[in-house]
Amino acid sequence: MSGRTVLVTGAAGFIGFHVAKQLLAEGADVVGLDNLNNYYDSALKMARLAILRENSRFSFVQTDLADREAMAALFAKCRFERVIHLAAQAGVRHSIDRPHAYVEANLEGFANVLEGCRHNQCGHLLYASSSSVYGANTKVPFSIEDKTDRPVSFYAATKKANEQMAYSYSHLYHLPVTGLRFFTVYGPWGRPDMAIFLFTKAILEGAPIRLFNHGKMRRDFTHIDDVTRIVLRLIDRIPAGNGVAPAGIYNIGNQHPEDLMHVVELLEKALGRAAIKQMLPMQPGDVTETFADVEELIRDTGLKPETSIKDGIADFVAWYRDHYKV
């Protein structure tokens, strides 16, 4: 990595922070982009950013993906050899209430990233997709060969659109692109709107945790250290194209879905407290199970997520107690 400059969008976000931090550790110069919006506690974003700023090879740009002129100027100035696009408006349920935020960040913003890569000879664009593109598919595990044309949330629809937008740019302009379908990423510095963070906070505060579908859910929880390791391995794995678009897609998941109630039990043990459980019906836009088939990832990189849910939760709880002094 040494000696080259990599753009990481969403650098103050959960995955972006970890990826940028590891890139810096491996000798890359990193430009981190983030708009520092208030979708969740901005103090957490600022704390992540403060750690990155300790490294002199990190520079930060605060701008919005949807700002076409600012994005074009940044790409023209820096001419990034590699771009890791992790910024997005996240959240399944939030997309029901605020769809236009998803249009601006996930569609307009992604178009600006694609245009920047196209006009400035980017050698490889990695971008975040999501397991949510699989919608209500009932065949498990989810394979990258499965149909993904029936999203059950608007967030999922924007992520599916990103995959199609990336493929079209790859086909038209021979831009190498790799989509990363992340499966429920968790771990230290995680997002406060995700289940493990929400449950930990509530249990420690003696507040109820909300268990939708009466707790009958399964998720392929994927630890951030595994995700970071895989993303960095993929940076220089350029899709071949084989005469067509040089475009690839990978599932980034643990290949081991966990029952939500088991996750709650592990949190109770790690925290030394019982959870107050509030059983609720299924929410609009949600799915009962996610389960990643990572055959292609293993074949092409030799890597797969390996952190057990028990070890991952212990790691998260240790960080949470230290960061929030509880």
Residue 9 neighbours by CB under 8 Å, 6+ apart: 16, 33, 34, 65, 83, 84, 85, 86, 87, 113
Beta bridge partners of 62: 34
In angstroms, how far is CA 275 from the centroid of its own chain?
A: 27
Task: Choose, from 155, 167, 186, 320, the residue flagged as catalytic.
Answer: 155
How far, in Å, CA of 188 to CA of 207, rounded?
22
- Give the single-character DSSP code of 15: H
- Burial code (b: 16+ CB inside 10 Å, e: under 16) for 276-310 equals eeeeeeeeebebebbbbbbeebeeeeebbbebebe
How far, in Å, CA of 96 to CA of 284, rounded?
9
- Residue type, position 205, single letter: E
Q: What is the crossing angle of helices 260-271 and 195-205, to 10°?
A: 40
- Decide: helix, strand or coil at residue 243: coil
39 is catalytic: no
Residue 97 neighbours by CB under 8 Å, 6+ apart: none
Place of tokens 């990258």: 144
- Burial code (b: 16+ CB inside 10 Å, e: under 16) for 21-57 equals bbbbeeebbbbbbbbeeebbeeebbeebbeebeeeee
How far, in Å, CA of 40 to CA of 153, rounded?
20
Structure tokens at 310: 């028990």
Residues designated as active site: 155
